[in-house]
Amino acid sequence: MQVKRFGVSLEENLLKKLDDLVQRHQFPNRSQAIRYLINNTIVEDKWKGNEDVAGAIVLVYDHHKRDLQNRSTDLQHDYHDLILSVQHVHLDHHNCLETIAVKGPANQLRNLADKLIAIKGIKHGQLVMSTP
Ligand code: NI
């Protein structure tokens, strides 16, 4: 893709914040930081506007709690239209890490994520919001 150059005027304190961001995220330059900010804002707007988006739900839980797995499987069947794939990793004797790739209307993905994360016994859960 062709890259175009344009000038940006910024107040000194805002430029300082941009450079801090470049350092913190270890971006190679300011352009990469601005790309990151633009794309983040676009993803955020799509999720807010209930557009079709993609993401991942990450869950960590103790597989010895049998009810939890039944409940999670029931929910995943209820929302099967949204689920692309599920990866299950046995982290150690107790803990499982599940990564559920999802795609569909943002609000429905949020609903599914909220319900999964709220299951009693889930140790950690997070929805990673991205976009196709
Ligand atoms: Ni497991």
In the prediction, which pLDDT does 7 show?
A: 93
C-alpha distances (whole Å) from 49 to each of 46, 102, 103, 110, 132 are: 5, 17, 15, 12, 15
CA–CA distance, 12 with 57 (Å, rounded to integer): 39
Task: Kindly give the distance from the C-alpha atom of residue 97 to the centroid of ligand 1, in angstroms, as a whole number.
Answer: 7
Q: Which fold has domain 52-130?
A: Alpha-Beta Plaits (3.30.70)
Read off the pTM: 0.84
CA–CA distance, 123 with 13 (Å, rounded to integer): 40
Mean pLDDT of residues grouped by 10 in the chain (132 residues)? 92 96 96 95 94 97 90 96 97 96 97 96 95 83
In the prediction, which pLDDT does 132 show?
A: 79
CA–CA distance, 120 with 62 (Å, rounded to integer): 11
Task: Kindly give the distance from the C-alpha atom of residue 44 to the centroid of ligand 1, in angstroms, as a whole number.
Answer: 32
Task: Kindly give the distance from the C-alpha atom of residue 1 to the centroid of ligand 1, in angstroms, as a whole number.
Answer: 43
